[in-house]
Structure 1
Amino acid sequence: MDKKRFMVVSGFLGAGKTTTMVALTEYINSTGKHAAIIANDLGANYIIDAEYSDRQNVEVTPIGGDCICYIPDTLIERIERLNREPKDLVMSDIPGCGIGALDHVYGNLDKNHKDEFTLAPFLVVTDPERLRMIMPEQADIHLPEELKFLLDAQLKEADCIVLNKIDLMSDEEVDRYVKFLKEACPDIPVFPISAKEKIGLEQVADYVLTAESRVNITDIGYGGPEFVAAEKSMSWFNRNVFITAKDGKAFDGNELVDDLIDEIRNGLIANKRNVPHLKTFAVGKENDYGKFSLIGVDYDIIHDQELKEETEKLRLVVNARAVCESDLLLDIVDDAFDAVAEKYNVKIKVFFSECFGMMDEGRH
């Protein structure tokens, strides 16, 4: 029986895991091989990463409601499903704090399904801005001290590291970040890439298609006090809405989404909170769609793709991972939607909404 090659893609919120998986899958498929994606999220429905990936002409299947770390049977079923047409690689991200999958996923597959799966190198995606928190400058980017633990733990799990977003860096900066990563993680290959600009993908693809994971499970403090402190600091928000113009006149969906994100940003700033990653996905006329992101209250909105036309109707999905209590986060986002509804004279119908902290009573 041919083994199925599987890979976990880990990394910090906003580092570009989805963009990296999509770009890597597109590159592998362009070479005549075949790759596919599992999009994993703690939210129960409306996973932006799955919908966005699917629109990039790559094969993707979602797993929502829990982390793949804790639902091994579901994960195996999805890998099997994607391999009905044999794949050279299936990859999945992990949500939440982004650590633990080396033990819970790779450890389980290596121990109990060794004859079925080849485990590709455990890949960790980093981005230069977040790395500054743990580099010599110890940059303060207005995220809690507890989140530094996550970056350190993610790097400890890595079989290989991808330094993403090099299109935003000079050659000297790339060299400095690569040097830091190689010193922090000896004997671990580091690949500088730009997933957005499709730079450096060949070396990553060659490595993950041929090398295998060490399954080097070490104590990273998973479940310990630092892990609990990091999880306690974060909340998840997911909402799917349908927006219609009350007067029937077309509105600029790009401006509406920008204003919504800015209203959420301002609410978080006023309450001294932050959002390591906020994603929106908007669908307008005839599958015209846009994707907009924010990786912190101090950063500009990232327009991964803008809507091309004004519209009278807009479907909008919002996924946010915030350093904020869930009740407060819900109030901030509700106020933002109210402000946008008034400014643009639109009706907002909510089809699905959830907001929860990792440690909220009743979540499990």
Structure 2
Amino acid sequence: MVKVDLITGFLGSGKTTFIRKYAKYLMDEGNNIGILENDYGAVNVDMMLLQDLMGDNCELEMISGGCDKDCHRRRFKTKLIAMGMCGYDRVIVEPSGIFDVDEFFDILHEEPLNRWYQIGNVIAIVDSRLENDLSDEADFILASEVADAGCIVMSKSQEASPEEIQGTIDHVNRALEKVHCRRRFGGLGKENTEQDMDKMGNVIHKNWDEMSKEDFAGIASCGYEMSTYRKPELEADEAFTSLYYMNVKMTEKELREAAEKILSDPECGHVFRMKGFMRVDDGDGISGKSVQTEKNWKKWIELNATKNEITIRPLHVGQEVLIVIGEDLQEEKIKSYLKI
């Protein structure tokens, strides 16, 4: 049977970055893998960031958003059926940051998938400097993503203090308590027996660039747990919206400044993440000059921004789209910062 891993994580937690490293480990171990990307909304940005993994031992597939839940469920199942015929050793599923994890388990227990696939691991990626002031809806999403995880892998831990890491673990446990889930994860500096730590769950807070083969081997065998928790009467993901902006024209410097303002200005709503691609002139990142003619926009750059970090880096190829994801988004205010 083909093993299938689910990589969960809230918006901007670093799932795609982790998958790059995890997939490389699996391929180095001789595995033939498939990666199924399911982005939030109709444009799949994260899939483009994994293009260089494609080769003889790795293929990428995509499910587009922009449909109702029943339609999405059918697309998810149909795609897994097709991938089940491709001879993979392992399939990695990266859902959106507001995915209902129950959908993953429900579909994989349906015919014929239950005869082709074996659930391997549920790995939850959590930002080491998680926001403290999440809404009840966001806390529910967080809790549902970690409740069944075999382990939590904390991102950007090298940039966080021990107090910030402990605060994030405490936040995760509070979110679990709010949904009446009995699962808890251990913290730093606690003198627990090995048995106690097994009961509380595993938290990995190591710099990803320093992870060894043995570290990834442990993650690749962490498994999962079936936990129960209380769901809200209304679907939590309905509180989240995404805005798409095509063909935005500004310099790299202007884009960074706009992202900083959108993420920090409460008049824009509660923005969790901005991501996407833009074309700029080759000299924009250095001189900051504005270029007016279309033919001069040559270089692709990628934006990946949260309140904790804004990253802009060059790419060989992209798609002219910027996406803003959050709660109670105020489109006109956001557009004013993007100058559109």
TM range (shorter): 0.7 to 0.9
Residue of structure 1 equivalent to 2:327? 323
Query: Alpha-carbon deviation of 1:31?
Result: 3.0
Instruction: Say if 1:144 and 1:185 are closer, same or farther in 2 by CA, change over 3 A.
Output: farther
Check whether the contact 1:289–1:306 (CA below 8 A) recurs between aligned residues. Answer: yes
1:357 is matched with none
Out of 135, 146, 156, the position equivalent to 1:144 is 135
Match of 2:304 in 1: 293
How much has 1:118 moved relative to structure 2?
0.8
Pair 1:92-2:98 in alignment: no
**Structure 1 residues 231 and 174 mapped into 2: Cα distance closer, same or farther (>3 Å)?**
closer
The offset of 1:176, in angstroms, is 7.9
Query: Mapping of 1:1-364 within 5 angstroms?
Result: 3-44=1-42, 46-57=43-54, 59-65=59-65, 70=70, 71-82=72-83, 85-95=86-96, 97-98=98-99, 100-101=100-101, 103-112=102-111, 113-130=113-130, 133=132, 140=133, 143-169=134-160, 181-182=185-186, 186-195=199-208, 197=209, 199-200=210-211, 202-203=213-214, 205-207=216-218, 209-210=220-221, 212-214=223-225, 216-218=226-228, 220-222=229-231, 224-225=232-233, 228=235, 230-241=236-247, 243=249, 253-265=251-263, 268-269=265-266, 271=267, 273-283=269-279, 288-296=299-307, 299-303=308-312, 305-306=313-314, 316-325=320-329, 328=330, 330-338=331-339
Q: What is the number of equivalent residue pairs in this alignment?
A: 297
Find the residue that maps to 2:50 and give its secondary structure. Answer: helix
Letter in 1 for 2:276: T
Asked if structure 1 preserves the Cα contact closer than 8 Å seen for 2:268 and 2:333, the reply is no
TM-superposed deviation, 1:217:
4.8
1:22-70: CA deviations, max 9, x gaps?
22112222333233321112312x3110111214556322211258974
Measure the CA separation in 1 of the matches of 2:15 and 2:40: 15
Classify 1:96/1:281 alpha carbon distance in 2 versus 1 (closer, same or farther; 3 Å): same
Letter in 2 for 1:191: I
1:231 to 1:213, Cα distance in 2 relative to 1, 3 A: closer
TM-score in terms of structure 1 length:
0.68
Paired-residue identity, %: 16
Q: Which amino acid is the alignment partner of residue 92 of structure 1?
A: V
In structure 2, relative to structure 1, the CA distance for the partners of 1:54 and 1:193 (3 Å cut) is farther
Q: Return closer, same or farther for 1:83/1:272 CA change in 2, 3 Å cut-off.
A: closer
Q: For the residues of structure 1 that align with 2:46 and 2:29, how far apart are their CA atoms? A: 24
The whole-number CA distance in structure 2 between the counterparts of 1:66 and 1:6 is 25
1:90, distance to aligned residue in structure 2 (A)? 1.2
Distance between the aligned counterparts of 1:193 and 1:82, measured in 2?
33
- How far has the Cα of 1:114 moved from its partner? 2.2
**CA deviation map 1:143-172 (0-9, x unaligned):** 435423332332222222212212213578
- Specify the SS of the correspondent of 2:109: helix
5+ residue gaps, structure 1:
134-139, 244-250, 309-313, 340-364
In the superposition, relative to structure 1, how do residues 156 and 295 fare at CA in structure 2: closer, same or farther (>3 Å)? same
> TM-score, normalised on structure 2?
0.72
Q: Matched residues in 2 for 1:92 and 1:49: separation? A: 12
Offset at 1:84?
5.4
- Structure 1 residues 316, 258: closer, same or farther in 2, change over 3 A? farther
Partner Cα separation in structure 1 for residue 115 and residue 298 of structure 2: 43
Shift of residue 290, structure 1, vs aligned partner:
2.4
Q: Please state whether the residue corresponding to 1:122 is helix, strand or coil.
A: strand
